[in-house]
Structure 1
């Protein structure tokens, strides 16, 4: 029978760590704990004292100060793994957990699940060809060296990056490895862990490379495991369920999510809200139960997004008091290109840049690289752009020395669209209608994580209609708002019809508008 050594990385909530360790070991499993060296010493002492007599708990031999996006998170994981593999010779699997994780199945179910297939569970997709990274740095994570913490030492992080970029100080990954990326929450067999540790001992060059990459906890194990283990023995998925919010942050689960979580084809979930005491109590008790049947639906992600999205309409994102008097300028014209298919909008903005004098940037609130000029730092993070969106747009008008500016927005950003359309500046909106066939909707479901790679065809089929309706609803909402400066183009219309809309939207000549409308492969997927 499978016996799991849980690799528990934590930095707070000593009572929660103690309860989690006691719960997991009570079912015959093991726990190796790395408690962040930045945390309070008395918290760590409390944990050690409470678990000192538990033979199924071991602590990492060395405590490291961990920082988000740093190698220190991988190093801490390796410290805990080495402690676990030495202390627990009977452990068959090693499972990464955080202090915010809770079981959503019983130990009995988890052991049977792992016994059923001799394989590793780790999400891993090609770093360069996949779209796993939705926004921000991509190849920059690897080809430049990152010595500073992006959150704690932001100026040094970006100054170092800019200097390397200007001087062309790029590098390539070690030639014999294929860099892959995925969730940091994995479950690996003992043999695989031994192979990974042996690789680490032998390949200092690879460790040195990853030590100066950005966010290596999403690439290190994801790269090394497929390098040392046959691909047929790896399942490209995580056993820990999580869903991301619109802001790219893990969503928190609350008391009324119990049934939703149990229906997922996962063993654990994160993040469980600290305030969800009833949920924590029920999930904690669940781990010790036996004979429980778990019907799997895998619909939680789709339902979560659908329901939270509906609950948001008209209730959130009102103007902050410091924004109500801000304006983009009465003499300026802001042109919003709104499209669900980002590649279509980008083809149009590329054509606008090449065929007109109107500055056009891409999805500046969604992607770091959006054809922005150097703005002195306000553009460096998406968080900054959202927080200072009016200031950012005013700076863009000034930087481009223009009174007309095109930007791209996703139709899901209704709060942002409403905010900008209500500005004292003249604001126009061009909706690019999209043909949402089944193939596109299924791809969208995969891209945004509505259903994992292991989801059954039946579950995906049920989601297709719901997701298509939700996407179409975004466009209908825009039409229903009755914006005065509303325009639309669509692939089903003749180029002349689209050209007429573009001419009114951009205020360009009919000839220029027709040329834009006839952009090669404008609407092609």
Structure 2
């Protein structure tokens, strides 16, 4: 009878990981866990302790730091596979999961299902002929080397790509490989996993090639499985049910999706909301049940498309994305930096990025050309970003896979601040108080179109008191609003004085905050 070794890649929420491991091993299956090295030693030790008495749990042979789109995700998977293949000799299948996945069938059903056919389940489409990649670069993922992460170092990522293109530094794809692409959620037989691990040891050329491809978790296993396994033994599909919105973001499932999920022709579903406690409990109880019959209708994707299309036409059975996702999420915290001198806030944000792991975004509601991730087009328009502000920021939280994020706003955006504070998420506010010289105000008048290069000096001088008054009034309005968790740093304060409010704002030790605000040029014009 089939026995599954689940391969779990995770990086947070130790209690949820322990619960998931206990749930999935309850019916005699196994689990091999790779916990991201950036998750911290104490957190990992808590997971080990919580699962210490469970013989059906093992841990990856090595822990590494993982980054979205990087080879590290494939390497972490291989480390977890090595441990599972070594420690669970009775495992017949190996199933790739994330912490957001939940079973939507019983273990009994899964075992029977996998026993019916001696095949591997993995999406595996021709990389060049299929339309699996909808947006972004395609062949450039393969024929150029990628040493920078597009999410963390967007400028370096694309500059490196442009440089290679200019210098003609294309590389060849290994001759005997047909590059394939597909979902990273697969279920493979034991023999296939053994062949893959042998392949990784023998084909160092292929390993070197994939280490510098972009998003290799969508191509490595898909290519190697097709290379080592006869085509007739591959089912080009995933056993994990997942859907995407028009914005390219995963559809999230909640408590009222229980019946819909059970009727899908899949074994697992992704992504289950962390807030869907009832759904998780019901699915967890279901996994260990016996004798359950499932009526498969498989209408999930067509129903979702039907309802969203009707919403676009104004004939709604369901709300639009930006209405259903109108909250940032109860457990999330938005850190808002308000500063009239954008260059000062950007310097502070750059330093925060180097000293913490908090994602930071600069003036995303003020600058058309802000450095932003590709999220299906909504990021291209300031008007769209502002109109769908909460949905937009929620997408960014999901993109960076974080519960804390820093954004910068101009003081004129008090309505944005009030809207975010009205959300059920948490908000913190840091105002940067700057000194405004006459030269700065004159430059500001020209930058904003109040004056031009040919405007007489006397006219500019008459403008300055009004501009200064407006800036003071913007700051006063923010203070008069009496926002909770309000902090302020000032150009007139010492770094020691500014460190305390910054530490409260970021939730970091005061000595680290002092390092951030101690740069001598922070307030320079």
Q: Secondary structure at 2:174's aligned position in 1? A: coil
Residue 151 of structure 2 corresponds to which residue in structure 1? 151
Deviation at 1:310, TM superposition (A): 3.7
- Answer whether contact 1:378 1:384 (CA < 8 A) is retained: no
Note if 1:95 corresponds to 2:87. no
Separation in structure 2 between the aligned mates of residue 19 and residue 391 of structure 1, nearest angstrom: 43
Gaps of 5+ in 2: 327-367, 385-525
Note if 1:195 corresponds to 2:195. yes
- Answer whether contact 2:246 2:376 (CA < 8 A) is retained: no
- Answer whether contact 2:247 2:378 (CA < 8 A) is retained: no
How does 1:51-450 map onto structure 2 within 5 Å?
51-311=51-311, 382-383=374-375, 386-389=378-381
Deviation at 1:166, TM superposition (A): 1.4
1:169 and 1:378, CA in 2 relative to 1: closer, same or farther beyond 3 A? farther
Deviation at 1:41, TM superposition (A): 2.5
Q: Map Cα deviations across residues 353-392 of structure 1 (whole Å, 9 max, x no partner).
A: xxxxxxxxxxxxxxxxxxxxxxx97799534953242699
Deviation at 1:13, TM superposition (A): 1.2
Q: Secondary structure at 2:38's aligned position in 1? A: coil
Q: Map Cα deviations across residues 185-244 of structure 1 (whole Å, 9 max, x no partner).
A: 000000000000000000010011000000000000000001001000010000011001
- Answer whether contact 1:105 1:268 (CA < 8 A) is retained: yes
TM-score norm. by structure 1 comes to 0.62
1:126 and 1:255, CA in 2 relative to 1: closer, same or farther beyond 3 A? same
Gaps of 5+ in 1: 321-375, 393-525
Separation in structure 2 between the aligned mates of residue 179 and residue 85 of structure 1, nearest angstrom: 26
Residue 17 of structure 2 corresponds to which residue in structure 1? 17
- Answer whether contact 2:247 2:376 (CA < 8 A) is retained: no
Separation in structure 2 between the aligned mates of residue 70 and residue 231 of structure 1, nearest angstrom: 28
- Answer whether contact 1:240 1:270 (CA < 8 A) is retained: yes
Residue 436 of structure 1 corresponds to which residue in structure 2? none
Deviation at 1:46, TM superposition (A): 1.1
Aligned length: 336
Q: Secondary structure at 2:37's aligned position in 1? A: coil
Note if 1:6 corresponds to 2:6. yes
- Answer whether contact 2:247 2:377 (CA < 8 A) is retained: no
- Answer whether contact 1:93 1:190 (CA < 8 A) is retained: yes
Q: Secondary structure at 2:278's aligned position in 1? A: helix
Q: Secondary structure at 2:112's aligned position in 1? A: helix
Separation in structure 2 between the aligned mates of residue 102 and residue 113 of structure 1, nearest angstrom: 17
- Cα RMSD of the aligned pairs, angstroms, is 2.1
Separation in structure 2 between the aligned mates of residue 128 and residue 265 of structure 1, nearest angstrom: 28
1:126 and 1:291, CA in 2 relative to 1: closer, same or farther beyond 3 A? same
Residue 31 of structure 1 corresponds to which residue in structure 2? 31
Deviation at 1:306, TM superposition (A): 2.2
Deviation at 1:308, TM superposition (A): 3.9
- Answer whether contact 1:263 1:298 (CA < 8 A) is retained: yes
